[in-house]
Amino acid sequence: MRVVIPYKKVPNNDLYWAIRSIIINYEPLEKIIVVGDKPDFAGDYEYIPCPEQRDKEFSIYHKLRQVDGPVLFSNDDIFFMNRVHDIPNYYLGTCGEKKGPMSPYYKRMYDKCPPTWLDFDAHCPMVINTTFFMWRQGMPLKSQYGNMFNVPGVLVEDFKIKTVEDIDRTRPFLSTPEPLSRFVEPLLRELFA
Per residue in 5-43, pLDDT (tens digit) is 999 999 999 999 999 999 999 999 999 999 999 999 999
What is the distance between the alpha carbons of residues 39 and 15, in angstroms, rounded to a whole number?
A: 8
- Least-confidence region, from 6-20, 30-44, 47-61, 91-105: 91-105
Q: What is the structure's pLDDT at 34?
A: 98
- pLDDT at position 138 is 82
Of 35-44, 78-87, 97-106, 168-177, which range is least confident? Answer: 97-106
What is residue 102's predicted lDDT score, i.e. its pLDDT?
A: 83
What's the whole-number mean pLDDT along residues 165-176?
A: 97
Give the C-alpha distances (Å, rounded to integers) separating 106 from 2, 23, 99, 161: 28, 31, 12, 18
The phi-psi region of residue 133 (left if phi > 0; otherwise alpha if psi is between -120 and 50; otherwise beta) is beta
The CATH number linked to 58 is 3.90.550
Residues 15-45: b if buried by 16+ CB within 10 A, e if exposed: bbbbbbbbbebbeebeebbbbbbebeeeeeb
Q: Residue 101's pLDDT band (boundaries 50, 70, 90)?
A: confident
The pTM of the full predicted model, rounded to 2 decimals, is 0.94
Q: What are phi and psi of 13, to 5 degrees?
A: -105, 15
- The pLDDT of residue 81: 98
Contact at 8 Å (CB) between 85 and 28?
yes
Question: Which pLDDT value is given to residue 167?
Answer: 97
Q: What is the pLDDT of residue 74?
A: 98
- Contact between 160 and 176 under an 8 Å Cβ cutoff? The reply is yes
List, for residues 108-166, the tens digit of each pLDDT value. 889 999 999 999 999 999 999 999 888 887 889 999 999 999 999 999 999 999 999 99
Give the whole-angstrom CA distance, residue 166 versus residue 3: 26
Contacts of 29 (CB under 8 A, 6+ apart): 1, 3, 22, 23
Predicted local distance difference test score (pLDDT) of residue 142:
95
Given a cut of 90, is residue 99 above it in pLDDT? no
100 has a pLDDT exceeding 80 = no
- Looking at the structure of the chain, the number of domains it has is 1
Helix, strand or coil, per DSSP, at residue 98 = coil
Listed residue (175, 69, 56) closest to 128, CA to CA: 69
Domain that holds residue 180: 2-192
**8 Å CB contact between 12 and 181:** yes
